[in-house]
Structure 1
């Protein structure tokens, strides 16, 4: 049976919260593997993985550089260049954070590439989630699957203007900035345009609504959503109560 959009959202959000709160490397790697496997099984991997790489590669490299070279608690020094020290503790901490971030991003991207946006909008509307939050959320979700194609078009346009990505971190960071800035600006502009279109169609209006799209919501999925939300809250509470767990 097909998952209700809110069930998929609860599963993705709870997975991201629990993985982040646990901060446990095997769990993070298992979530990453499960998300990639589900993406391949659902035929979404060819679009989801490039989008995940566009988000995770620069963030992962920055975490590796920051914690791998400048980790104050590092004791086992593997290499040293002036104030920068590569320590095994720093690398281990960086790998844990990268895996933790990757698990959360992949879980949320899997949801965004798998969910039916019309069904999600209908489900949100039936639950009374309207107003500015509702249509901004819906308009943002419609943009996520197009990120990878947009990044590819921006890079092709930059390369046609003479951009050459040479070896070395300096050139790569410069090339990433040239591609990231127009990507963010175009996404913000298009999200605003889609939000205005949704608002013009009455999505932000108040009062009773009539929907022509029915989304089935079996009782066991409602129970599953409650269980997922309780599990996420319990994970946060456990992390706050036992702050040293998983570190």
Structure 2
């Protein structure tokens, strides 16, 4: 996702990669995609920001997947350990690993796009394609808010610590502290989005009529062919996944 790429090319690559990874449902492929995204983020100089934002999203999600499927997987048969109704099964751990790596890969791909795409170029490209401006500005607002999530969460944690919040104990205490940090984070993001919407509306961005742009974004033919091929490949991956899970084709 470099500056040589048209914004639609970067967006298509990110979305199609997430779709193909989800359709494949193969944890080695998901791990390879996540590793490739980490390398690309490091080469672009945004590895710290991408991985930091991903950690905020993925750590509680992966922990919940591990607890839910690792301990209470109903289809599990190979029991490794058991504590009352909780059973650690090989099948549950495999399912949690597959779902966790798949989600990690998709989140990293989309975060890399959001941290590297040029928002002005993206808005100009949307305007040139006659896409409704409301969609463009909602997307642009989302992309500008995401990079600030990590820093905002750190400020919330510092503010809570200055008010006397001390994290003691093991994992349950840390999960409870994370919940106390996520609530003001979500509320602040909602308030920020409302302020941006009001500012855009006051400047006439919601008004109907023709749009013009002062930025000329080159769209080489090779990139247009790449986008078409990527969309076809993603569609084929989804179709293959649906065909493989069709009831008449399921193994007995």
TM-score bracket, shorter-length normalisation: over 0.9
Q: SS in structure 1 opposite 2:156? A: helix
Provide the rounded CA distance (Å) in 2 between the counterparts of 1:163 and 1:227. Answer: 53
Aligned-pair Cα RMSD in Å:
1.5
- Stretch moving more, 207-216 or 50-59: 207-216
- Stretch moving more, 7-16 or 214-223: 214-223
1:62-101 superposed matches below 5 A:
62-101=64-103
- Stretch moving more, 207-216 or 114-123: 207-216
- What's the offset of the Cα at 1:205? 3.1
Q: SS in structure 2 opposite 1:13? A: helix
User: 1:21 corresponds to which residue?
Assistant: 23
- 1:198 equivalent to 2:200? Answer yes
Q: String of CA shifts for 1:108-156, please: whole Å, max 9, x gaps.
A: 0000000011111111121122243222111111111111111111111
- What's the offset of the Cα at 1:236? 1.4
Q: SS in structure 2 opposite 1:41? A: helix
Q: 1:3 aligns with which of 2, 5, 20?
A: 5
User: 1:134 corresponds to which residue?
Assistant: 136
- TM-score, structure 2 normalization: 0.93
Q: 1:43 aligns with which of 29, 32, 45?
A: 45
1:138-177 superposed matches below 5 A:
138-177=140-179
Provide the rounded CA distance (Å) in 1 between the counterparts of 2:117 and 2:202. Answer: 24
- TM-score, structure 1 normalization: 0.95
- Stretch moving more, 193-202 or 109-118: 193-202
Q: How many matched pairs?
A: 245
Is this contact kept in 2: 1:52–1:106, CA < 8 A?
A: yes
Is this contact kept in 2: 1:39–1:45, CA < 8 A?
A: yes
In structure 2, stretches of 5+ residues that fail to align are: none
Provide the rounded CA distance (Å) in 1 between the counterparts of 2:194 and 2:130. Answer: 22
